Amino acid sequence: MDEQALRNLLNLESEKSLDKIQIFDEIDSTNSEALRQIQSGNTQNRVVVASSQTAGRGRRGRQWVSPKNAGIYLSLTRRFSMEANALQALSLVTAISVLEALRELGVQGLQLKWPNDVLFEKKKLSGILLELQHNDAARFVVFGVGVNIELSARSLESIDRPVTDLNSIISETPSRVVLLAALLNQLSQNLEQYENSGFSSFEERWNSLDCFRMVDIEIQNGESRLIGKSLGVNSEGSLLLQTAKGIQSINGGEVFPSLRPLSE
């Protein structure tokens, strides 16, 4: 991938917000590299992109399968002045951004799964891993984004949950540079909006795309499990769960469709 070709596709907002673009043929993990650079004192807003990852990371310690040129693997580093608790909903904003970027490129029928998965027909197309890093009293968020473009049969077999790729759902797959630019442009726009007005301006957008809204679900968080009906998210990005004991606000965990009825 050529840096100048990418810059030519960035909008003015993205171009202004990115101090540096780094493109690797292969790396252990774009997120790990971004964190290393912050720790070493490189605190510019930057994006790290790789054609493949040897140790790609997903949420909850999972591996993100990252064969060469089979997907987009990027990490965007951005500095924030807001308090850490105000950054909680950024994961949801990132998922909305990925979905909107893909929709602009002609990918229809996408939905969201709280807190940050992008799905097609309940199969995972994109995963997101956000990591917070402090450096000299400043806060940096590393936005790790993976989008499957064309996974081999062997890669699909190695993943322990339903996944899909762009090649399976659209007739003409965009080039990696076009897809990357679309993701960065949408992220830049939505992150600016979030910094100015918080998550409240995204609440309705999320709830209209949430595949489990008004569905009985199970939340797993460590050893604990909670069953209820998902009511969507609130203005802070917390998941609202209607349980037998009333409505609860959930800030962490993984969502699964419930196979058990809600107790009276």
**Residue pLDDT, tens place only, 200-211:** 999 999 999 999
**Residue 264 confidence (pLDDT) above 50:** no
**Is a pLDDT exceeding 50 seen at residue 93?**
yes
Residue 218 has pLDDT above 50, yes or no: yes
How do residues 128-181 score in pLDDT, each as one tens digit? 999 998 877 788 999 999 999 998 788 777 777 889 999 999 999 999 999 999
Domain with CATH 3.30.930.10 in the chain: 3-209
Report CA-CA distances (Å) from 103 to 3, 99, 111, 120, 170: 24, 6, 11, 12, 11
- Mind listing the pLDDT tens digit for each residue in 42-71? 888 999 999 888 877 766 556 666 667 788
What pLDDT was estimated at residue 236? 93
User: For residue 216, with 0-12 CB atoms within 10 Å meaning exposed, 13-18 middle and 19 or more buried, which class applies?
Assistant: middle
Q: How many C-beta atoms lie closer than 10 Å to residue 4's C-beta? A: 7
pLDDT > 60? residue 123? yes
| Mean pLDDT of the region 219-232 | 91
Question: What is residue 66's predicted lDDT score, i.e. its pLDDT?
Answer: 66
Q: Which fold has domain 216-257?
A: SH3 type barrels. (2.30.30)
How would you classify the pairing of strands 20-27 and 46-53? parallel
What is the per-residue DSSP string for 3-48?
HHHHHHHS-HHHHHH-SEEEEEEEES-HHHHHHHHHHTT--S-EEE
Confidence of residue 228 (pLDDT cuts 50, 70, 90): very high
Range(s) within the chain of domains with CATH label 2.30.30.100: 216-257
What proportion of the chain, given as a percentage, has pLDDT over 70? 94
Confidence of residue 91 (pLDDT cuts 50, 70, 90): very high
Residues 99-109 have a mean pLDDT of 97
In the predicted model, is pLDDT for residue 262 greater than 60?
Answer: no
Return the structure tokens found at 144. Answer: 């790790």
pLDDT of 241 reads: 96
Give the C-alpha separation, 28 to 68, whole Å. Answer: 12
Q: What is the CATH number of domain 3-209?
A: 3.30.930.10
